[in-house]
Structure formats: C-alpha cells, structure tokens
A and B are shown apart, each in its own frame.
Chain A
Amino acid sequence: MKRAQSSSPSEPPSALHLLHVGSMDARLIGLSIERHWTRSVRLVETLEEAQVVLIDCDRPGIEAVLDQLAGHPRIGIVYYAFHPKDHAPRFQPRPVLGKPLNLESLPVTLARARADAAHVIAAAPPRPIAPPPAPSAPAAASAPAPLGNSLMADDERDLCGGMDDIPAAPGSPLPDKLFFNPDDYLIGRLQQALALASASGRPHLISGLPRLIGIEPRPIPVCITAFRENQLRPLAMTQLPESTGRIVSTPLIGEADSQPLQLAAEDFLWNAAAWAARGRLPAGSNPYRPVRLRAWPNFTYAFASPHAMRIAALWTRTQASPVEIAARLGIPHRYVFSVYSAASFAGLLDTTTGDANTPAALPAPPAQTDRPARPSILSRILRKLRDAV
C-alpha cells in the first residue's frame, strides 16, 4: 500500500485546519500526518492560515461553522460523514467522504479541494444549497441514548461509528462497510505477534512503528509498549500501511531509557480490536450466528464501549447472535458488534456451538419491559456510580 504524499512533488504541503472534527479523529489524523504526510499536509491552528479545512457533518454545530466559512471562499472544504450520500446534495460540488476516513486517499482529496478553491473567482459562500438531511437512523435521531458508561457523546460517535442496524434475520446481503479487515489495523499485527510468541515461547516485536510494541509470552502473555495510553487509541484506529508492522522475534523486549507500559495481552487486544472496529465486525463474521462470551473482559482496564457491561452480563449467561443480543437489550447493533469484535480478538468468544440456522432459544428477557414510574434501586445506584466514575 503506497501512501499518497502529494498530488505534485513540487507543491508545498496543504495547510489543513481541522475546523469541525472530534478529538479522536483529530488525534488520528495528526498521527497520520506525523507518520506519513509531512511532505503533503501540515496542520495549522487557525482558519486564517488554512488552505483547506475538514468538517465532520455528524457533529452538532455545523451551521455555525458554515457561517464562519462564508467569509473564506478560497479555503477548500472536505466534508465527511457516516452517511455521505445524505449530505452530498447539500454540499455539492465539495466532496463528502465516508466514515471511517480512508486515510490513504485523504491527502489527495485535500490537495484537490485546495486546488479547486484556489480557482474560485467569485466569492460563493459555502452555504448549503439543500436543507440538512433527515437523520436516517432513528437511534441517532432521537436524544442520545444513555451510554451505560461515562463516554461523551462525541467520543461515542468516534468510537462506535454510526452504522444503521442490519436486518433482524439473515437473507439480505450485508453492506461491505459492516466489516473491517483486521490486517489493516494494529489489531491484526498484535494478533499475529501473540500467535508467534505463544508458539515459539519467544518475545516478538512489531517493527516499523514509531515506538515499541511487543508481546512477551511468559506464563501469561503480556504486551509491552512505549506508547502512552492516549496514543494507543488513535494508533489502533489508524489503517497501517502494509510495509509497517512486520513481526520479528527478539530475545528481549525493552528500551534502556524508558519505562514501557506492561499490560495483559488479553486487555490490550480487547482495546485495540474495539478501537479498530468502530461498531463493525471482523471480516468473515456472521452476525446471525449464536455465540457466547466465555468470560467477562477485565473492565477495570478493558475499554467499555456503550452498553458493554450490559452486553457482557447477558452474553455470559446465554448463547445468542449479536443481532439477538442487541434486540434483547433494545440497543443499536453497532454496540454489540463492537463487543463481539473485541471479544473475538481477546479470546473471550466461544463460537463452538453456534449455528446461524438454528437461533438459540433465549431465556426470558431480563430487561424491564414496563418501565416503572420510579427507577428501581439498582438503577438508582447505577446512576449514582455513573456520575461517580
């Protein structure tokens, strides 16, 4: 996989301002620029310095952003959204990219948007020419559902995507964007390193990354990394070039002048998979096949996506497909897909008895079907703890 460094080798890098972008995407893009695009893109802090801006259509407050841009007709604009087709009529002729962003092609798109804007003679304000699209997903349209943890709504969108539910029963073709290829992400390299370390009994490193990541098999496999925790999430969400991340055997993992982070491999792989998944499933997964969690993940470290604890509580006691679990809990499929992806790489998914053609008989729903006028004592404790954490 080749990185697009610039549309023209002689052109200076595009001055990109992340005008309306979530913190997670900002870190991810920043990391990619630092690693791959220093010759084609440079981040700037203010709109006045920018040649091109990036705007997340799904974030609230976009109207104010468009007003702000009206006075800058020569700035190129690249939009992105979970449902780009819904937004394209509104922002044409400017590009609306899909989420998750394809970071391979983004520099080229930015350069093109910059070049197009430079040719603008008449100052045409970038106001929408069509009304904003009606949100297509009911779950996203209504007030944000309680998250089951303390994630901010913005992070929730970044981490779990905005994928619509799939049909409740098999039969219809599933959209490609429902799946991700683990080999494109850090999680694929980690899985490979863990397999090699476990098979050989020797530590293995992922080479070619800016900092150390390796697996020591020990009696209990441990991941060792010199990345800081706040750097791991954007790294895990970024698609890595094929040439990055070769797995190599090493006699010892460690850096003389640093104190690398040591984490149980199970926790580390859970997190890397959940962050890569963004509400999708690993390629080849069957969302209608009943499976079961063989154990709860270690939620004092493992990333708890929205509703993850509820999902774990139900899925450790019953065999059911991801779609069935979502239906039982009354939550969007993407939250269950996120847990499914994480569990499958952490080794916590029991797939031995599942058969998509014979859906498991589920026990009586534990969910409260008739919501009492006053929340139960358990709900009230839960709310207290949510606020406390």
Chain B
Amino acid sequence: MRSERARHNKIIFSGTVGAGKSTAINALSDIATVSTEAVASDATARLKPTTTVAMDYGVLNLPGGEKVMLYGTPGQERFSFMWDILSEGGIGLVLLINNANPDPLQDLEGYLGAFRQFIASTAVTIGVTHMDSAPEPGLDAYRSRLIKLGLDPMPAIFRADARSRDDVATLVKALLYTLNPGLNDA
C-alpha cells in the first residue's frame, strides 16, 4: 500500500450506468459539481437521457484550504480508458452498483476486476443503489459473491441512496476506516 503522502487527495466514484455516481458526488461536494454529461445515444438512452462521458468532478473543502477531489468515472464500458487515468493516485474507490440492472452481481464482478490493481493498493467500499425498487439480490448475495471473488478482508457494502449526503458520507467514512481502522477523527 502506498503511503498517504504519495497519493493525491482524490476519491474515485465508479460503477454502473444509472447507479448514481454523479448524484453521489453532487450530494457530497462543497462546490457545484462539474459534469461532462452528453446525450445518451446507445443502450444507455433507455435508462436516462444523458450520461457522463469523461468525468464528474466535485470537491470537499477541508479546513486550512486543502481540497479533496471527488472524481466520477463514466459508467459506460467504452469509456473505460478513463477509469485508469482518473483513478491514478487516488485514495480509494467508492463503487456504486445499480440493483435494478439485469445482473448487478455480474456488474459488481466486472468493476472489481477492472479496478483490481487500484483496489489492491488502496481500498474499496460498495454502495448498492435502487434497492427500494429492486430489493433482490440482497446484501448477503453480494457478500457471497465477494467471498467467491476472494476479497479478503471483505469490503464494506451498504444499501445506499446516492441522493443522501449521509449515505455517501458513510460510504467514504467506511473507505477511510478500511484504509486505517486506527484513524481517529479527533
């Protein structure tokens, strides 16, 4: 694991189309988020009218003027070349999975595979969204898949509403404690 000093102050949000990455960054950011949305022209158009094509960008302002950048990757796989570029030097990954997708467990597996190296050197927390409208698979199904994938220790995985600042902050807090359970917020 790289030292904290070697990392940039940025947290990566990734996940499936429509999982709420842009919304989550918007919920947490202290600035109006910068978004590179474009009119969806492929299968994504069935899910939402616009989608992120390069990145979303938000900021957490820390006391003393320091900033933590919040980067959202595009959800579509054809923009996956952006994933490595954006995640380089990041503190960790918040992965959002849309439970209403046809095969969310496969989505999970795909994204964990794509970010394997990044996760191995940092940490990941997983937010499962849209569970109110699509309650299955439940969290235990995700946990079973994570065990099958050999993730040890098991990452934090929560039900999440990307619109909720509390939920997004809880995901990021879990990410920080995963990196260092000895952290104290005093």
Interface 0/1 of B149-186, CB less than 8 Å to A: 00011111111110011110111111011111111111
Question: Smallest CB-CB separation from A317: which chain B residue?
Answer: B153
Bound-state CA distance A346–B136 (Å) is: 19
Choose from B170, B181, B185 the contact partner of A379 (Cβ within 8 Å). B185
Q: State how many residues of chain B have any CB contact under 8 Å with chain A.
A: 49
B158 touches A296 (CB 8 A): yes
Stretch in contact with the other chain, from A105-113, A173-181, A223-231, A298-306:
A298-306
Question: Smallest CB-CB separation from B66: which chain A residue?
Answer: A380
B181 touches A310 (CB 8 A): yes
Q: Which residues of B contact A24 (CB under 8 A)?
A: none
A309 touches B173 (CB 8 A): yes
A378 touches B136 (CB 8 A): no
Q: Tell me whether B140 is interfacial, beta carbon within 8 Å.
A: yes
Bound-state CA distance A145–B135 (Å) is: 38
Assuming the contacts A309-B174, A378-B180, A384-B63, asked whether A299 and B185 have C-beta atoms less than 8 A apart, the reply is no
A383 touches B185 (CB 8 A): yes
Bound-state CA distance A213–B61 (Å) is: 43
A220 touches B181 (CB 8 A): no
Question: Nearest-CB distance from A23 to chain B (Å)?
Answer: 20
Stretch in contact with the other chain, from A75-83, A88-96, A164-172, A365-373:
A365-373
Q: Which residues of A contact B160 (CB under 8 A)?
A: 300
Q: Tell me whether B85 is interfacial, beta carbon within 8 Å.
A: no
A386 touches B185 (CB 8 A): yes
Contacting B at CB under 8 A, from A339-389, are 365-368, 376-386, 388-389
B174 touches A313 (CB 8 A): yes
Bound-state CA distance A220–B66 (Å) is: 44
A366 touches B158 (CB 8 A): no
Choose from B153, B170, B185 the contact partner of A300 (Cβ within 8 Å). B170
Q: Tell me whether B109 is interfacial, beta carbon within 8 Å.
A: no
B167 touches A381 (CB 8 A): no
- Size class of the contact patch on chain A: 35 or more
Bound-state CA distance A310–B178 (Å) is: 8
Contacting A at CB under 8 A, from B123-160, are 127, 135-136, 138-140, 143, 152-160
Q: Which residues of B contact A317 (CB under 8 A)?
A: 152-153, 181
Q: Tell me whether B76 is interfacial, beta carbon within 8 Å.
A: no
Q: Tell me whether B91 is interfacial, beta carbon within 8 Å.
A: yes
Most buried by B among A145, A379, A381: A381
Q: Which residues of A contact B88 (CB under 8 A)?
A: none
Choose from B143, B152, B159, B176 the contact partner of A381 (Cβ within 8 Å). B176
Q: Tell me whether B43 is interfacial, beta carbon within 8 Å.
A: no
Q: Which residues of A contact B61 (CB under 8 A)?
A: 384
Question: Nearest-CB distance from B139 to chain A (Å)?
Answer: 6
Q: Tell me whether B9 is interfacial, beta carbon within 8 Å.
A: yes
Q: Which residues of B contact A376 (CB under 8 A)?
A: 4, 180, 183
Q: Tell me whether A207 is interfacial, beta carbon within 8 Å.
A: no
B4 touches A378 (CB 8 A): yes
Bound-state CA distance A145–B182 (Å) is: 14
Q: Which residues of B contact A378 (CB under 8 A)?
A: 4, 91, 176, 179-180, 183
Choose from B91, B139, B184, B186 the contact partner of A264 (Cβ within 8 Å). B139
A310 touches B143 (CB 8 A): no
Question: Smallest CB-CB separation from B155: which chain A residue?
Answer: A296
Contacting B at CB under 8 A, from A145-171, are 145-146, 148
Q: Tell me whether B68 is interfacial, beta carbon within 8 Å.
A: yes
Question: Nearest-CB distance from A27 to chain B (Å)?
Answer: 22
Q: Which residues of B contact A365 (CB under 8 A)?
A: 182
Assuming the contacts A309-B173, A310-B177, A389-B169, asked whether A220 and B182 have C-beta atoms less than 8 A apart, the reply is no
Bound-state CA distance A352–B9 (Å) is: 40
Q: Tell me whether B60 is interfacial, beta carbon within 8 Å.
A: yes
User: Could you pull out 8 A-B pairs where Cβ atoms are within 8 angstroms?
Assistant: A296-B154, A298-B139, A298-B157, A368-B182, A376-B183, A377-B68, A381-B172, A385-B173
Q: A146-B186, A380-B62, A382-B176 known; 18 other A-B pairs, CB under 8 Å?
A: A145-B186, A146-B184, A148-B184, A296-B157, A296-B174, A300-B158, A300-B161, A300-B164, A300-B171, A310-B181, A310-B182, A317-B153, A377-B4, A378-B176, A380-B66, A383-B63, A383-B186, A388-B165
Query: Which A residues are within 8 Å of any B CB, using their own CB?
Result: 145-146, 148, 219-220, 264, 266, 294-296, 298-301, 309-314, 316-317, 329, 365-368, 376-386, 388-389
Query: Which B residues are within 8 Å of any A CB, using their own CB?
Result: 4, 7, 9, 28, 60-63, 66, 68, 91, 127, 135-136, 138-140, 143, 152-161, 164-167, 169-174, 176-186
